[in-house]
Amino acid sequence: MQPIDRADPRPPNVQIAASIRAAILTGELEPGTRLQSGQELARFFGVARQTVQTAINALRAEGFVRGQVGSGVFIRDQVSLPAASDAEEPLAGVAAYLFEIGSLKNLPRAGWLRLGVPLPESVAEHSFRVGIVGMVLAAIEGADVGRTSALCLLHDSAETRIGDVTAVGRAYITTEPAERVSEHQTAGMPEDAAKVFRDLVAEYEAGQTPEAQVAKDADKLESLLQAVEYQAQGYDTTPWQDTSVTALRTDAGRQLARAIMAADPHSWWSNFAASYHELRAQAKGRARTERHPDVRHHRGA
């Protein structure tokens, strides 16, 4: 087995699993061999025992080792080798794409970092509300609601690879077009599915269809909503608000922008709080009726 490489960016448990796996596949560790104890392996690799245990758990799940109560961990007699490439899961490319899109949950919106917001919304959080705004605008403008929401959800999908480049950055650097990024992202997907995603990205970037125009307005309006919310927290977001409003294309978008800027971002909660006791009383009344359904009947009699 090879010790872990401190210069390797992979986590130690991943390196340990790879080292043991390689020793098994090359015959260094023969079938039936008992692995060293967790403490001995931890000493060899220079890590905590829990790190070794995590690696062993991964190897057990892959079918390389088995545990025997009171005796330790042994190399399996018939190791489950990785599946051949021609036997790969047919939707492996879809799974990879979904994991990649999930990384947007960890990508902060860079513009808000420039403003000084310490923990700004992520790109995924932004895209979620863009989708909701797009549905509203599409219904008002007579566009296809479902297609608009799909365009909204994917409008920043290329940022898994190029990052969230601010306006300042775009003045100095050039990135691959989103359509090109989408081709790379969906390369492992079944062609019918890949075409759906590529076409949506291309349609949004072209901005010619009613749905794409509504989706682009939804993007700006979500930024406006977030700017108003951050303004209420004490940040000066006036430039962000002005830029968002100026970029709007549709009548419904401009009308909604006026409503957003005139609203208190906390008003929905204030309205709920004001009626809280009334709502609780109604709920208790319903609960009493459900527990004693004959009470109302006797009173009516």
pLDDT tens, position by position, 34-44: 999 989 999 99
Q: Share the mean pLDDT of the chain.
A: 89
Task: Quote the CA–CA distance of 204 and 184 in Å, as a whole number.
Answer: 17
In this predicted structure, what is the pLDDT of residue 66?
A: 86
- DSSP lists the bridge partners of residue 75 as 65
Task: Quote the CA–CA distance of 21 and 34 in Å, as a whole number.
Answer: 14
In this predicted structure, what is the pLDDT of residue 84?
A: 47
pLDDT band at 85 (very low <50, low <70, confident <90, very high): very low
pLDDT band at 83 (very low <50, low <70, confident <90, very high): very low
Residue 69 in this model has a pLDDT that exceeds 60: yes
Secondary structure of residue 97 in the 3-state scheme: helix
Mean pLDDT of 155-159: 97
- Which CATH code, of 3.20.20.140, 2.120.10.10, 1.10.10.10, 3.40.50.620, is assigned to 12-75? 1.10.10.10
Which amino acid belongs to residue 63?
G
Mean pLDDT of 232-257: 96
Task: Identify which has the larger pLDDT, 271 or 213.
Answer: 213
| CA atoms within a 13 Å half-sphere pointing along the CA-CB vector of 56 | 22
Parallel/antiparallel/unpaired status of strands 72-75 and 65-68: antiparallel
Task: Identify which has the larger pLDDT, 63 or 301.
Answer: 63
Architecture of 92-265 per CATH? Orthogonal Bundle (1.10)
pLDDT band at 259 (very low <50, low <70, confident <90, very high): very high
pLDDT band at 57 (very low <50, low <70, confident <90, very high): confident
Domain boundaries, the chain: 12-75, 92-265, 271-300
Closest alpha carbon to 164 in 106, 205, 221, 225: 106
pLDDT band at 268 (very low <50, low <70, confident <90, very high): confident
pTM greater than the 0.75 cutoff: no
Question: Out of 14-28, 110-124, 277-291, which region has the weakest mean confidence (pLDDT)?
Answer: 277-291
Per-residue pLDDT tens over the stretch 200-244: 999 999 999 999 999 999 999 999 999 999 999 999 999 999 999
In this chain, the answer to whether the domains covering 12-75 and 92-265 adopt an identical fold is: no
In this predicted structure, what is the pLDDT of residue 198?
A: 96
In this predicted structure, what is the pLDDT of residue 6?
A: 86
Angle, CA 261 vertex, CA 255 and CA 263 arms, to 5°: 105
Per-residue pLDDT tens over the stretch 172-199: 999 999 999 999 999 988 898 999 999 9
Residue-by-residue DSSP string for 37-92: PHHHHHHHHTS-HHHHHHHHHHHHHHTSEEEETTTEEEE-SS--PPPPGGG--TTH
In this predicted structure, what is the pLDDT of residue 88?
A: 59
Residue 298 in this model has a pLDDT that exceeds 60: no
Task: Quote the CA–CA distance of 38 and 31 in Å, as a whole number.
Answer: 19
Place of tokens 């080798």: 81
Mean pLDDT of 140-169: 95
In this predicted structure, what is the pLDDT of residue 197?
A: 97
